[in-house]
């Protein structure tokens, strides 16, 4: 069983490497590195579908896993892809910064960056592989709990993205900081619910043998969101563009977990 799981994981890694290689070629040609986010989000769908077809687990369980992956990955890929297409040929500010930093060896550094995303895609896809390997005919309560958590997190992230898009589309809000809806209680509610979706996937996996291994997926996601590609570069850019308005937002509002705001006493 372990050897079969490793074989399936290796196959997804090979697919991910090719996917990101092609994506890198297209991104290099059109000068838009933001395409990596679209392919990364989308890549989990064929990975989960492959697991659901090739793994020996129970069909009903595999259908649930594939459906969840399609809903989550499809929504995220569509959201990110729409943003990339809307902004093109202007590149996402995060990647414009990387392009500037890596100017001396841009060709190879971006290639390696895309391949790192391929490795992460394969490693994180373990959350979909584990339940697809489970051939038990009984459904564990944790599977249903994880499924509900995942769907609720997807709904929360969708709402956060919708609220931010609606705020930005209003010309009156140009140059302002979004502090409405979920954004009143967290500076990054979309990142929080994205992480919660991975927590839901992990909880679902706990109903299968070796499910604890999937802990690495929400752990990796939390690290990257809090320390690497999520909050740090996003807030650095927002501080440059919004200035004191965003500093005040930082002082009053939690960065990640939605929480009641802190209010400073006004000086008399």
Domain boundary among the residues 93, 111, 137 is at: 137
Task: Determine the structural domain holding residue 86 and report its residue range.
Answer: 1-137
Q: Residues 36, 117, 80, 148: what is their CA dihedral angle, to the nearest 10 degrees?
A: 160
Residues 242 and 261 in one domain: yes
pLDDT (0 to 100) of residue 268: 40
Helix, strand, or coil (residue 89): coil
Question: Is the same domain home to 114 and 158?
Answer: no
Task: Show which of 103, 137, 171 is a domain's final residue.
Answer: 137
Write the CA distances from 243 to 147, 189, 203, integer angstroms. 40, 21, 40
The pLDDT-based confidence of 26 (bands split at 50, 70, 90) is very high
- Of 137, 171, 195, at which residue does a domain stop? 137
Count of the separate structural domains present in the chain: 2
Q: What is the pLDDT of residues 65-114, one digit of tens each?
A: 999 999 999 999 999 999 999 988 888 888 888 888 898 899 999 999 99
pLDDT attached to residue 263: 67
- Mean pLDDT rounded to a whole number for the chain: 94
pTM of the model: 0.92
Residues 89, 146 share a domain = no
130 with 259, same domain: the answer is no
Per-residue pLDDT tens over the stretch 206-244: 999 999 999 999 999 999 999 988 999 999 999 999 999
């Amino acid at each position: 069983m372990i050897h079969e799981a490793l074989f399936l994981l290796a196959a997804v890694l090979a697919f991910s490497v090719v996917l990101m290689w092609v994506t890198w070629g297209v991104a290099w040609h059109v000068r838009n590195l933001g395409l990596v986010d679209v392919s990364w989000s989308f890549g989990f769908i064929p990975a989960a579908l492959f697991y659901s077809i090739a793994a020996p687990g129970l069909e009903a369980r595999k259908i649930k896993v594939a459906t969840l992956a399609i809903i989550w990955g499809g929504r995220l890929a569509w959201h990110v892809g729409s943003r990339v297409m809307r902004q093109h040929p202007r590149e996402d500010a995060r990647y414009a910064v990387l392009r500037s930093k890596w100017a001396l060896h841009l060709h190879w550094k971006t290639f390696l960056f895309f391949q790192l995303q391929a490795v992460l895609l394969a490693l994180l896809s373990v959350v979909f592989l584990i339940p697809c390997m489970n051939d038990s005919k009984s459904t564990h309560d944790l599977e249903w709990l994880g499924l509900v958590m995942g769907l609720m997190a997807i709904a929360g992230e969708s709402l956060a993205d919708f609220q931010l898009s609606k705020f930005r589309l209003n010309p009156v809000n140009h140059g302002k900081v979004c502090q409405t809806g979920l954004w009143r209680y967290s500076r990054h509610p979309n990142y929080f619910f994205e992480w919660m979706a991975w927590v839901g996937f992990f909880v679902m996996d706990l109903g299968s043998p070796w499910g604890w291994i999937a802990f690495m997926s929400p752990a990796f996601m939390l690290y990257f969101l809090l320390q690497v590609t999520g909050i740090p570069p996003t807030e650095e850019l927002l501080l440059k563009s919004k200035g004191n308005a965003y500093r005040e937002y930082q002082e009053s509002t939690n960065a990640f977990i939605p929480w009641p705001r802190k209010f400073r006493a006004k000086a008399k």
